[in-house]
Amino acid sequence: MATIATDESAVLIIGSGAGGGTMAYELTKAGIPCVMLEAGSHLTHDDYVNDEWEAFTHMAWLDPRTTSGSWQVATDFSGLPAWTVKAVGGTTTHWAGATPRFRDYEFKALSTYGAVEGATLLDWPISLGELAPYYDRAEKAMGSTHRHGRPPLPANNNYKVFANGAERVGYKLYATGPYATNAEPYDGRPGSIQDGFNFQGDKHQSKWSTLVREIPRALETGRLDLRPQSHAVQITHDASGRVDAVLYVDADGNLHRQAAKVVCVAGNSIESARLLLLSASSMFPNGLANSSDQVGRNYMRHLTGSVYARFDKSVHMFRGETMAGIIADEARHDPSRGFVGGYYLETLSLGPAFLSSFIEPGAWGARLTDMMDAYANIAGLWIVGEDMPQTTNRITLSATARDQWDLPVANVHFDDHANDVAMRTYAYKKAEVLYKSVGAIETRRTPPYPSTHNLGTCRMSERPEDGVVDRWGRAHDVPNLFVSDGSVMTTGAAANPTLTIVALAIRQAEYLAEQLKTGNI
Amino acid sequence: MEEIGMAISGPLSKEVITIGTSVEERKLLVRMLRVMYPHSRFPDGPYERTADAVIAAGNTTPGQALTFAAGLRELQAASFGDLDDAAATTYLEGMAGSPFFALVHGRAVVALYNDHEVWELLGYEGPSFDKGGYLNRGFNDLDWLPDPRITELDRG
């Protein structure tokens, strides 16, 4: 590991997840020293526990946040709008592993769907064709099954129910991937032992994360100065408006300053937006890089919802890779279904500890125990689809609530768009029909969990007035400030976002390295 | 220790009270939990451990303790312990929006279904990594449906 002096102007990366971790590896590999600030601690596979609540308590981002709006999460989990990770490797240590690419039309949402009332749809400034070579590199890095010669994972029990149902209702595009967990040894990591607990950190290390791949390799270059428990609280700038340093807080609440020649913000969409808002100054009164007033707006969280089905025979859905089952037939734009955009169905399993809390928040009595008693006979799936960007769905700084550092917490405001509601209702019905076709006795519609896909708060736009960053993720207002996570997404598409975040980061790192080399930054 | 404690607290307080720990209160709470989470095949152990978790949660702050104590008094006044299952369920439905009910449910739903004896009763096998995962322990043993395709078809 490198040690970079605090007064040495470094390339500084904030966050170590899919975006930040990838940036660190790509840049250090290209010979560029980097400082990485990670708010959480450096947990590794030995620290992880196969226990849902215990893992949640020591991995999840639990700093206080507030919620508002009509979304059900604000009612069911008012202090927990999102379920992300605060640790080295970020939310890649908790993600399930599904890696579908965004589809061509999803980069052209406004052109394809037309104007949708109440939605702030926009075409991305880049196309699928432009991102395709980076998707290839990301899939190889992550070891996506079904891609580049990587074999598929076998069918687990939950998938058997899911895929048979898919076949019976006429779906064709079902498979056990693409999924970034090794079916056989690859890239120095072992094949899956079907140990489940995909959301609790992977003790076996067969699942890709920046913790097991990009960060150790970046450290091996000798050019990465990784600083865990270093929570960035403000980005400062010089008189010309270029960023020049980041202030951060250590585990004991002491303030530090690291000089920077470039800053890459990758704190996940809620914290990235919050950090820019916390960095307001007399030159940037609405927050750094926010002359457009778009920082924090167009927050997206994917449609989401689950259906759990009870059978009269055993399933044991928890055995094996949690999300190694994907149906892509509904991931298309077909307005005859009553909504724009599309969605995926993906296998999902929760243990009794989580299922009892999430299946129907607040439920008790026979309503709850009828399902819990049948735990071994339950199959489950997740609905993940494109939600509409809306200008009022927004991250702001709370006027009243403060965090452990006495700084304003993020308030997450969200209202479902009518298109979101129509798609969710349609998808619930489809999932119910799927499970009934293979003999389900009863199905339950589970409302959205706290958001795991947090997108869009610093969106990419061709014109500076429409968004926060340009086609490279470079801030329209600040030439040496980049955003390197899912907050750059102009629209959310239907697919799980991690693969796209990694592809965008590989592309951004290549661009940034070139700009540094040619002195254009 | 007791002498020192008394010396510090002086005449204001001679002992600390913990709500819900009397034999009657705890029994009432266990009954409430059985009505809230009616699993006929569960023995008393999980409900008793859950009751202890709820008692701990109900005493985390003086404010919580007052809410907790008021709720228990209400149950006692209604002779909740003497109601049959149907009447007890109806009674709790009337109480469902109260802070006391939220306190009990919020802690109990986590404690009960995180109880390892409950996991066993429900057929959940818990931590798997130390046992080599489920690779050789039934991850694909479902045999009442045909083995499905695992590869992709072209979208066409």
Contact B33, B58 (CB under 8 A): no
What's the pLDDT tens digit per position in A425-436? 999 999 999 999
Whole-number Å distance between alpha carbons of B156 and B14: 80
Whole-number Å distance between alpha carbons of A357 and A375: 14
What's the pLDDT tens digit per position in A440-499? 999 999 999 999 999 999 999 999 999 999 999 999 999 999 999 999 999 999 999 999
Q: Where are the beta strands (DSSP E) in A229-377?
A: 231-237, 243-249, 255-265, 305-310, 326-327, 343-347
- How high is the pLDDT of residue A385? 98
What's the pLDDT tens digit per position in A221-258? 999 999 999 999 999 999 999 999 999 999 999 999 99
Nearest C-alpha in A relative to B36 = A365
Please determine, for residue A143, whether its predicted confidence score (pLDDT) is greater than 60.
yes
Whole-number Å distance between alpha carbons of A63 and A60: 9
A447: preceding bond cis by omega (within 30 degrees): no
With tokens 């029990």, the residue in question is A157
What's the pLDDT tens digit per position in B30-55? 999 999 999 999 999 999 999 999 99
Write down the ipTM of this complex: 0.95
- How high is the pLDDT of residue B156? 72
CB contact under 8 A, B139 and A156: yes
Residue B144, min C-alpha distance to chain A (Å): 8
> pLDDT-derived band of residue B12, with 50, 70 and 90 as boundaries?
low
Q: Which residues of B touch A80 (CB under 8 A)?
A: none
Residue A111, min C-alpha distance to chain B (Å): 22
Q: Which of B30, B76, B34, B70 is nearest to B54 (CA)?
A: B30
Q: Give the orientation angle of helix B62-77 with respect to helix B23-36, to 10 degrees.
A: 80
Using DSSP, state whether B108 is helix, strand or coil. Answer: helix
- How high is the pLDDT of residue B14? 72
**Mode of pairing for the β-strands spanning A174-175 and A326-327:** antiparallel
CB contact under 8 A, B150 and A155: yes
Please determine, for residue A295, whether its predicted confidence score (pLDDT) is greater than 90.
yes
Q: Where are the beta strands (DSSP E) in A121-272?
A: 174-175, 224-227, 231-237, 243-249, 255-265
CB contact under 8 A, B113 and A355: yes
- Burial status of residue B106 (CB atoms within 10 A of its CB: 0-12, 13-18, 19 or more): middle
What's the pLDDT tens digit per position in B92-120? 999 999 999 999 999 999 999 999 999 99
Contacts with B138 (C-beta within 8 Å, 6 or more apart), sequence order? A157, A316, A319
Taking each continuous run of H as one helix and of E as one strand, the counts in chain A are 12, 16
- How high is the pLDDT of residue A1? 85
The amino acid occupying position B119 is W
What's the pLDDT tens digit per position in A326-339? 999 999 999 999 99
Please determine, for residue B2, whether its predicted confidence score (pLDDT) is greater than 60.
no
pTM of the model: 0.96
Q: Which residues of B touch A53 (CB under 8 A)?
A: 110, 114
Please determine, for residue A364, whether its predicted confidence score (pLDDT) is greater than 90.
yes
Contact A480, A261 (CB under 8 A): yes
The amino acid occupying position A365 is G
Residue A253, min C-alpha distance to chain B (Å): 26
Q: Report the first-to-last Cα separation within chain A, whole angstroms.
A: 26
Average pLDDT, chain A: 97
Nearest C-alpha in A relative to B132 = A193
Whole-number Å distance between alpha carbons of B69 and B103: 11
Tokens matching residue A331: 């991931």
Q: Which residues of A touch B100 (CB under 8 A)?
A: none
Which among A50, A193, A353 has the least Cβ separation from residue B113?
Answer: A353
Contact A365, A407 (CB under 8 A): no
- CB count, 10 Å around CB of A511? 16
Is residue B38 less than 8 Å (CB to CB) from chain A?
A: yes
